[in-house]
Amino acid sequence: MRNFVIFDGEQRTPEWFTARAGRLTGSRASDMLATIKTGEAAARRDYRTQLVVERLTGQPQESGYINADMQWGIDHEAEAFAAYEAHSGHLVRRTGFLSHAELMVGCSLDGDVDDFAGIVEVKCPKSATHLGYLRAKAVPANHLPQMLHNLWVTGAQWCDFVSYDPRFPSGLQLFVQRVERREMDILSYAKCAEKFLGEVDAELLEAQSLLMSEVA
């Protein structure tokens, strides 16, 4: 049984940013998990503050800025999906934003397969980065938090990490590596996420109490 609601608006639109506002998302999972030896990591603290501000104002705080490398990826997404579908035999569905039905959580998938039986994470990176993936023959560690988050939200049984670069020779243009749900510690991640969300709730209440005191 699904535990999320699908927002079908196109990604990167104002409506999509609004749907994400105030919610813990997969693209920021690594910030939520960030740690340092003592105290709290700045990335974690700053992200918590961002979510509080978004909930207070109802306005997304993301800029929507796209640099040249990001634009390259956007321009070649369709090619990447076609290459993956030809390689895997899977047809990939695109959706906008998935909002968790009970928690202030969500994710924007690159795609899903067979009604969320599996999900797909597609990248069209710099050529040097793509070569690194080919050499390592493994999912890069910096992408695992997002994949873990998305598996948690969707309940999917696997996630395929896909890297595509049409500038390479044909046999090296596509890299695909699967992560199975059973290989990931979903329960521990869920606990970390719920703890973080509790901290966001507490900070939001504190901010709201300040507002009430000013009104009084």
Q: Please, are residues 53 and 21 in contact by the beta-carbon 8 Å criterion?
A: no
- Residue 215 binned pLDDT confidence (cut-offs 50, 70, 90): low
Mapped onto helix, strand or coil, the DSSP state of residue 44 is: helix
Please tell me the total count of domains within the chain. Answer: 1
Q: Which pLDDT value is given to residue 214? A: 63
The beta strand positions in the chain, using DSSP E, are: 4-7, 24-25, 97-100, 105-107, 111-113, 118-123, 158-164, 174-180
- pLDDT 10s digits, 136-190: 999 999 999 999 999 999 999 999 999 999 999 999 999 999 999 999 999 999 9
Q: Report the pLDDT averaged over residues 98-112.
A: 96
Take residue 156 and report the two structure tokens written for it. Answer: 């999917």
Question: Which conformational region is residue 64 in: left (phi greater than 0), alpha (psi within -120 to 50 degrees), or beta?
Answer: left
Q: What is the pTM of this model?
A: 0.93
Pairing, β 97-100 against β 105-107: antiparallel
State how far the Cα of 124 lies from the Cα of 127, in Å rounded to an integer.
9
State how far the Cα of 116 lies from the Cα of 120, in Å rounded to an integer.
10
Pairing, β 111-113 against β 24-25: unpaired
By residue range, what is the domain housing residue 184?
Answer: 4-215
- Residue 89 binned pLDDT confidence (cut-offs 50, 70, 90): very high
Q: Which pLDDT value is given to residue 196? A: 98
State how far the Cα of 150 lies from the Cα of 179, in Å rounded to an integer.
12
Mapped onto helix, strand or coil, the DSSP state of residue 43 is: helix
Q: With the CA atoms of 168, 169, 172 and 175 taken in that order, what torsion angle do they form, in degrees rounded to the nearest 10?
A: 50
Q: What is the CATH number of the domain that holds 107?
A: 3.90.320.10
State how far the Cα of 43 lies from the Cα of 23, in Å rounded to an integer.
16
**Helix axes of 42-57 and 186-215: crossing angle, nearest 10 degrees:** 50
- pLDDT 10s digits, 10-21: 888 889 999 999
